[in-house]
């Protein structure tokens, strides 16, 4: 088994290398605009769970995951070349809805701030009358 610190270092390295590969090494148009949000490697180094998202959001999730599954062998081979491990983990891809949720929360917070500002302004206007 591998220490937790080493697992984190491996996961971070895989994330960096995969992000670089997705930007410059993959020609599949399904994978344009994809970014890696997280990588988690299990303690036995058997699997690397890769979480991805895209600017377009959930509407392209199925297409992107299909493209990643198609390119899995190529990606694993290229990652194994740059991240030196005795046995490189198998890649499992997952859609990460976190960026979309964060955007929705930000919009809700902005609308609440706007309502609070309007309420404060109305209160001040009433006091001035």
Measure the CA–CA gap between 129 and 98, rounded to whole angstroms. 47
State residue 111's pLDDT score.
80
Work out the percent of the chain whose per-residue pLDDT is above 90: 59
Name the strand (E) or helix (H) holding 92: strand 90-95
Which residues in the chain land under pLDDT 70? 99-101, 129
Predicted confidence at residue 2, as pLDDT, reads: 81
| pLDDT, tens digit (0-9, with 9 covering 90-100), for 97-109 | 876 667 777 778 8
What pLDDT digit, counting tens, does each position of 70-90 carry? 999 999 999 999 998 999 999
Angle between helices 4-24 and 72-82 (to 10 degrees): 120
The three-point CA angle 52-72-4 to 5° equals 60
Task: Judge if pTM exceeds 0.85.
Answer: no
């Amino acid at each position: 088994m591998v220490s937790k610190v080493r697992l984190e270092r491996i996961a971070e390295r895989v994330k960096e290398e995969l992000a670089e590969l997705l930007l410059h090494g993959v020609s599949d148009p399904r994978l344009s605009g994809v970014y890696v949000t997280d990588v988690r490697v299990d303690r036995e180094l058997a699997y690397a769970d890769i979480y991805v998202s895209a600017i377009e959001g959930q509407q392209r999730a199925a297409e992107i995951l299909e493209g990643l599954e198609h390119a899995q062998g190529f990606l694993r081979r290229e990652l194994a070349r740059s991240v030196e491990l005795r046995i490189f983990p198998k890649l499992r891809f997952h859609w990460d809805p976190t960026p979309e949720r964060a955007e929705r929360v930000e919009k809700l917070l902005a609308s609440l701030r706007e309502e609070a500002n309007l309420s404060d302004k109305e209160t001040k206007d009433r006091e001035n009358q």
